[in-house]
Amino acid sequence: MIGFLTGTYLGERDNAVLIDVNGVGYLVEVTSSFLAQAPQKGEVVSLSIETYVREDQFRLFGFFSDEERQWFKLLMGVQGVGAKVALAVLGILTPSALAESIAAQDKAAIARTPGVGPKVAQRVVQELKDKAPAPQFNVPDGAVSIASGALDDALSALVNLGYQRNAAYMALQHLRNENADLDMQGLIKGALRELSQ
């Protein structure tokens, strides 16, 4: 199996890119977001690779990062989602945006992907809500914010108390946006108030 490729970028070919690795040209299927940010021809590029081997085909899928590749695998595990749809979703949503959409049960964000209808979006949200990694608490630019470690610890404590990870995440996200000076204990108390409403 191929885990990553580093080589010379030779250009695009039908939603795939051609990478020259020591004289061997690899055709790698990529997301639309990769194509939008593709390097210049002749530049060196590195891709995290997911390899699919079937009786009648050998396909390589390339991603900016291992995290994006892992999301591709998760999406491919959803009923009705094939490689084309999984690449399309990741072309529209970054891994963190996808994690947030799933945590918030926001199927509309996923349904904005071309070729993804409401039923498939609903299945993505339902089937991945417990499999997907929790979204990271991103800090807005220029904001005085709570340390992400305190947020992560508070999330872990709330899950240990029996609250659903997605609901606890959303409560903490709301608190983070409203209060920049809470410690872990304050976060847990505030989240418990929100979750009990």
Q: Please give, one letter per residue, the 3-state secondary structure of 147-197.
A: CHHHHHHHHHHHHHCCCCHHHHHHHHHHHHHHCCCCCHHHHHHHHHHHHCC
The two three-digit tokens of residue 89, written as one number = 């979703």
Say how far apart CA 131 and CA 155 lie, in whole Å: 16
Say how far apart CA 58 and CA 130 lie, in whole Å: 31
Greater pLDDT, 14 or 113: 113
- Is residue 60 very low, low, confident or very high in pLDDT (cuts 50, 70, 90)? very high
- Is residue 135 very low, low, confident or very high in pLDDT (cuts 50, 70, 90)? low
Mean pLDDT score across all residues of the chain: 84
Overall average pLDDT of the 86-95 stretch: 92
Neighbours of 181 (CB within 10 A): 8
The two three-digit tokens of residue 90, written as one number = 């990741």
Q: Is 23 left (phi over 0), alpha (psi -120 to 50) or beta?
A: left
Given a cut of 90, whether residue 47 has pLDDT beyond it is yes
> What's this model's pTM, rounded to 2 decimal places?
0.69
Superfamily (CATH) of domain 66-128:
5' to 3' exonuclease, C-terminal subdomain (1.10.150.20)
Greater pLDDT, 181 or 29: 29
**Hey, which CATH number is domain 4-63, 3.90.1720.10, 2.60.40.10, 3.30.70.60, 2.40.50.140?**
2.40.50.140
Superfamily (CATH) of domain 148-195:
Ubiquitin-associated (UBA) domain (1.10.8.10)
Residues 141-182 have pLDDT tens digits of 444 445 557 777 887 788 788 887 767 777 887 777 676 667
Among 61-70, 82-91, 176-185, where is mean pLDDT lowest?
A: 176-185
Neighbours of 16 (CB within 10 A): 17
